[in-house]
A and B are shown apart, each in its own frame.
Chain A
Amino acid sequence: MGSISLQHVKKSFGEVQIIPDISLDIKDGEFVVFVGPSGCGKSTLLRLIAGLEDTTSGQILLDGEDMTKAPPARRGLAMVFQSYALYPHMSVRDNIAFPLKMAKAPKALIDQKVEYAARTLNLSSYLDRRPRALSGGQRQRVAIGRAIVREPKAFLFDEPLSNLDAALRVNMRLEITELHQQLKTTMIYVTHDQVEAMTMADRIVVLNAGNVEQFGSPLDLYKKPANRFVAGFIGSPKMNFIDGPEAAKHNAHSIGVRPEHFKLATTATSGTWKGKVGVAEQLGSDTFLHVHVEGLGLMTIRTDGDQTFNHGDDVYLTPDPTRIYRFDASGVAI
């Protein structure tokens, strides 16, 4: 069991208010990702749940029990840190066994659980090494192993993949998602990478300046962003925003079109917006075109990788009329 409920949680450091007021309900077994730009308070929120920071006001409930003032050890949560925070002088085995040893578990049980964790995470042949002798990905697994042996109510991940290289990050992303399928334990995962958020989460919390902008499933956020911030943050490349008279035609203060929702043509007849190709980023599968549209500015367009474009080519863009997002003056979606 591991449902987590935040009720009007506030956090300030002295005069500085980091989290003005957040209420969230995370169901048992859910994989929730906190995502947002750096400094949005997502790590602070995680540390509040972990008990590593004191909550200024509000309540944190774990399985319905008020844990706002409880010390971290009593909350029954496990955390994986960005730096892994392995104990450098202990072997991998001792690292994984440490929480059980602190809980005074019998030796036989410790051995059994460590063996199990090591098998699950492919660490069996490294058990007697020191963390120093492991690669980044292996260290990450040890940190996860140390978390799973405790059989916690929930796992908290604080940007665990940001120290890994790109290929390994994709791998570990899959492994963590798979681990969640296996264990079915609640997981809260903090990241600034919207791709990680989209691919891993059951539900995503988008945070900005300490406020929850939107809380919903990845596709909900993609299809029905609540406001301009979420629309701009979710999706890659970023959504194109257009203000002024062009937006007024759609009865909105500003409109947004995703790069993948354009029809692209090279002849004048079909195009609504005319532009010149600036940079063409060719990825093979896709090509991202940065087009200077007359009167509207720079726009990113996603197209398939088969057509080739050169700097200075004239192109004509038609936004998909059913997929134009409209926002009012305060940025809220209409």
Chain B
Amino acid sequence: MATAQTRTLSRVMMAPAVIVLLIWMIVPLVMTLWFSFQNYSLINPMMTGFAGWGNYLYVIGDPSFTQSLVNTLILVCGVLVITIVGGTLLALLLDQPIWGQGILRIIVISPFFVMPPVAALIWKNGFMHPGYGMLGHLWKAFGLQPVDWFNQYPLFSVIVIVAWQWLPFATLILLTALQSLSEEQREAAEMDGANAINRFYYIIMPHMARSITIVILIQTIFLLGIFAEIRVTTGGGPGYASTNIAFLVFRTGILSNDIGAGSAGGVVAVIIANVVAIFLMRAVGKNLDA
């Protein structure tokens, strides 16, 4: 198979794809790095030239940066907790033999197919709007003052929307894990006198550990860059209450027209994502070893 000739040939054949991919990745990264060291503002064309670490100091030194960082962590952790706990419970339910199982599973998975801005709009206008949202009506039905979700609990509202979108993903992965548990193991545990709770704790949970790890890893990657839901609902506000790092980059670069500082924020976001990834792999990656 792998003679010298086939190796050379395969490299030549792969080269165009690899080169295109590299350019696609390297060029924007280098441009971002370049801009992050430049004075480059769209509203002040006179401000040009090398900025040194100025843009970085400006972004990191701003109090909004710390708040965005904390918001990012709360957003990621909050969604992870809701999706994994909820996903496990839903998977356990969906694993029971019930009538119309196939249809039910498709319905449960469907939120994952809704595009983020659409999902956010549905929640914003359909559920969480104090005037005509479903939740507002529900509150009124009980004689309560409707909650203005996006003003009173902006970050929590965003977490709810994002968790709703990612719950099906977690459920799906955990359900397949649950179904791959051998029937004989469950029966053996039953014979050994383990009740349902013990079976879940000692047999099912350890079996699902690897899948939970995968869910955590994949979701974290996507949740660090949540943008559309914030853009559509709260716009990062009130103040900076629901601004995460990704949205801060957008606010600095696009809304404030400061390309230099925005690029610096982008580079910082890339570094944070990598730090989180390394930390995660250390913490939960051992579950992935066969």
Contacts and interface: CB of A to CB of B under 8 A. Distances in A.
A83 B194 contact: no
Contacts of A82: 184
A289 interface: no
Interface stretch (A96-104, A280-288, A308-316): A96-104
Among the interface residues B190, B195, B198, which one has the most CB atoms of the partner chain A within 10 A? B190
Interface in A82-125: 82-83, 85, 87-90, 98-99, 102-103
Interface in B174-194: 182, 184-185, 187-194
B202 interface: yes
A325 B95 CA distance: 54
Given A89-B206, A89-B207, A102-B198, A73 B184 contact: no
A73 B203 contact: no
A98 B187 contact: no
Nearest to B207: A89
Contact of B184 (A71, A77, A78, A83): A83
Interface in A145-201: 146, 150
Contacts, number: 58
Contact of A79 (B185, B188, B209): B188
Among the interface residues B191, B202, B209, which one has the most CB atoms of the partner chain A within 10 A? B191
A72 B198 CA distance: 15
Contacts of B189: 87, 98
Nearest to A104: B193
Contacts of A90: 202, 206
Contacts of B202: 87, 90, 98
A102 B188 CA distance: 12
A81 B194 contact: no
B115 to A, nearest CB: 39
Interface residues of A, number: 22
B: interface residue count bin: 10 to 19
Nearest to B290: A132
Contact of A85 (B182, B194, B206): B182
B178 to A, nearest CB: 15
Among the interface residues B184, B187, B188, B202, which one has the most CB atoms of the partner chain A within 10 A? B188
B190 to A, nearest CB: 5
A72 B190 contact: yes
B206 A73 contact: no
Contacts of B203: 87
Given A87-B202, A89-B206, A73 B193 contact: yes
B191 A50 contact: yes
Nearest to B206: A89
A70 interface: no
A146 B184 CA distance: 14
A98 B201 CA distance: 12
Interface string A50-90: 10100000000000000000011100011101110101111
A119 B241 CA distance: 64
Nearest to A149: B192
Among the interface residues B184, B194, B203, which one has the most CB atoms of the partner chain A within 10 A? B184
A79 B184 CA distance: 10
A209 to B, nearest CB: 25
Given A87-B202, A87-B203, A89-B207, A77 B191 contact: yes
Given A89-B206, A89-B207, A98-B202, A81 B188 contact: yes
Contact of B191 (A78, A87, A89): A78
Given A81-B184, A82-B184, A99 B192 contact: yes
A72 to B, nearest CB: 5
Nearest to A75: B191
B182 A83 contact: yes
Interface of A: 50, 52, 71-73, 77-79, 81-83, 85, 87-90, 98-99, 102-103, 146, 150
The 5 closest A-B pairs by CB, nearest first: A85-B188, A85-B184, A99-B192, A73-B193, A89-B206
Given A88-B207, A98-B202, A102-B195, 14 more contacts: A79-B187, A81-B184, A81-B187, A81-B188, A82-B184, A85-B184, A85-B185, A89-B206, A90-B202, A90-B206, A99-B192, A102-B194, A146-B192, A150-B193
19 contacts: A52-B191, A72-B187, A72-B190, A72-B191, A73-B191, A73-B192, A73-B193, A73-B194, A77-B191, A78-B191, A81-B188, A82-B184, A87-B189, A87-B202, A89-B209, A98-B189, A102-B193, A102-B195, A103-B193
